[in-house]
């Protein structure tokens, strides 16, 4: 029978740093999975990957105020630490680092990390302060949890590029591991924000992944023109209805460089509002 042990919840940076140093001192490899909680199977797959590659697994749970604009959902973002800890116990997580806002941003805090061009288009254009908030909190988390490897989901494609840039530029001694997006059986990418969708919106939201799959099939059949692919995606989304497209972008894989023709590994990125809920997703095509 599998033994299930609840992870130890740690509240202060000093304590979690000690845990990590003690483990590394005796040669244990430490993995960290940064999250904002409200954990779903996507997060848990990152924990499984960390468990597979590391000896000690730390999950951080912190709803980071600096990555939300004033009109966004910071206040109503789900906070469910007890049920998160119960889920993590089933996946072999050793420690949960769940600091308070005051622990992370004490009075007088002023620094902000600007990673440059990778943070500017797409999400960066719509959410101008978002990636500085992400880069700053991830750098802080990796200073407090100086893990050997940090596990992030491909679902937040541009975020993985931002974190990668920050890690490289600032010589952070942590390997970035990007794991595949986990999807519901109907293709919807798992996201904590899916909980905001009512039944009808939840159905319509599958159009995001379906439209990207449609583009993927067209590329497999030989279509190379991005304008044609975008039009096909837009008509699929319009047919489903109730999906207000923010952007559809085709970029060279591993970058945010837009392409006009498919000539190699390409990512299609989509952001759309379904009701009040803003969803993002991406897929590799070509």
Q: Tell whether residue 134 is a contact of ligand PAF (CB under 6 A).
A: yes
Helix (H) or strand (E) run with residue 279 in it: strand 277-285
Q: Tell whether residue 283 is a contact of ligand PAF (CB under 6 A).
A: no
With tokens 């590994």, the residue in question is 265
Q: Tell whether residue 158 is a contact of ligand PAF (CB under 6 A).
A: no
Applying CB under 6 A, among 30, 32, 35, 148 the residue interacting with ligand PAF is 35
Q: Residue 159 Cβ, how far from ligand PAF at the closest point, in Å?
A: 6
Give the distance from CA 182 to its chain's centroid.
11
Q: What is the DSSP letter of 6?
A: P
Number of neighbouring beta carbons within 10 Å of residue 2: 5
Number of residues that bind ligand PAF (CB under 6 A): 10
Q: Which is nearer to ligand PAF, 150 or 218 (CB)?
A: 150
Q: Which is nearer to ligand PAF, 145 or 215 (CB)?
A: 145
Q: Tell whether residue 208 is a contact of ligand PAF (CB under 6 A).
A: no
Number of neighbouring beta carbons within 10 Å of residue 25: 8
Tallying the residues shown for the chain, one arrives at: 286
Applying CB under 6 A, among 48, 148, 156, 281 the residue interacting with ligand PAF is 156
Applying CB under 6 A, among 45, 64, 174, 206 the residue interacting with ligand PAF is 64
Structure tokens at 115: 């990673």
Distance CA 90, CA 262 (A): 42
String of DSSP letters for 152-215 = EETTSHHHHHHHHHHHHHTT-S-EEEEEPPPB-TTSPBP-GGGGG--HHHHHHTHHHHHHHHHH
Applying CB under 6 A, among 38, 47, 115, 137 the residue interacting with ligand PAF is 137
Q: Residue 209 Cβ, how far from ligand PAF at the closest point, in Å?
A: 19
Q: Tell whether residue 36 is a contact of ligand PAF (CB under 6 A).
A: yes
Beta pairing partners, 271: 247, 280
Single out the segment in contact with ligand PAF by CB under 6 A; choices: 28-36, 70-78, 102-110, 228-236: 28-36
In the set 40, 43, 53, 130, the catalytic residue is: 43
Structure tokens at 60: 């951080």
Q: Establish whether 43 is a catalytic residue.
A: yes
Q: Which is nearer to ligand PAF, 88 or 229 (CB)?
A: 88
Pairing mode, strands 30-35 and 266-274? unpaired
Applying CB under 6 A, among 16, 30, 31, 34 the residue interacting with ligand PAF is 34
Q: Tell whether residue 67 is a contact of ligand PAF (CB under 6 A).
A: yes
Contact 113/69 with Cβ under 8 angstroms? Answer: no
Interface contacts to ligand PAF, rule CB under 6 A? 34-36, 64, 67, 134, 137-138, 156, 159
Active-site residues: which are they?
43
């Amino acid at each position: 029978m599998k033994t299930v042990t609840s992870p130890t919840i740690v509240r202060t940076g000093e304590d979690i740093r000690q845990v990590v140093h003690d483990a590394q001192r005796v040669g244990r490899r430490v993995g960290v999975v940064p999250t904002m909680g409200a954990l779903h199977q996507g997060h848990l797959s990152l924990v499984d990957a960390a468990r597979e590659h590391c000896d000690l697994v730390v999950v951080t749970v912190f709803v980071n105020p600096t990555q939300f604009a004033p009109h966004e959902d910071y206040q109503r973002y789900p906070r469910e630490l007890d049920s998160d800890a119960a889920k993590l116990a089933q996946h072999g997580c050793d420690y949960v680092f769940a600091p308070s806002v005051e622990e992370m941003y004490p009075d007088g805090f002023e620094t902000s990390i600007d990673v440059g061009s990778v943070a500017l288009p797409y999400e960066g254009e719509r959410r101008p302060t978002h990636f500085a908030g992400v880069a700053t909190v991830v750098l802080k988390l990796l200073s407090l949890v100086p893990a050997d490897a940090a596990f992030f989901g491909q679902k937040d494609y541009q975020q993985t590029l931002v974190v990668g840039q920050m890690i490289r530029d600032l010589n952070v001694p942590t390997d970035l591991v990007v794991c595949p997006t986990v999807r519901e059986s109907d293709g919807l990418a798992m996201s904590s924000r899916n909980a905001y969708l009512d039944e009808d919106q939840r159905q319509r939201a599958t159009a995001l992944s379906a439209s990207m799959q449609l583009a993927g099939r067209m590329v497999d059949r030989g279509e190379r023109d991005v304008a044609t692919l975008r039009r096909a995606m837009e008509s699929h989304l319009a047919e489903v209805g109730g999906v207000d497209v923010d952007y559809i972008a085709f970029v060279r894989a591993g970058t945010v460089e837009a392409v006009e023709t498919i000539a190699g590994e390409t990512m299609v990125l989509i952001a759309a509002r379904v009701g009040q809920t803003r969803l993002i997703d991406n897929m590799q095509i070509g």
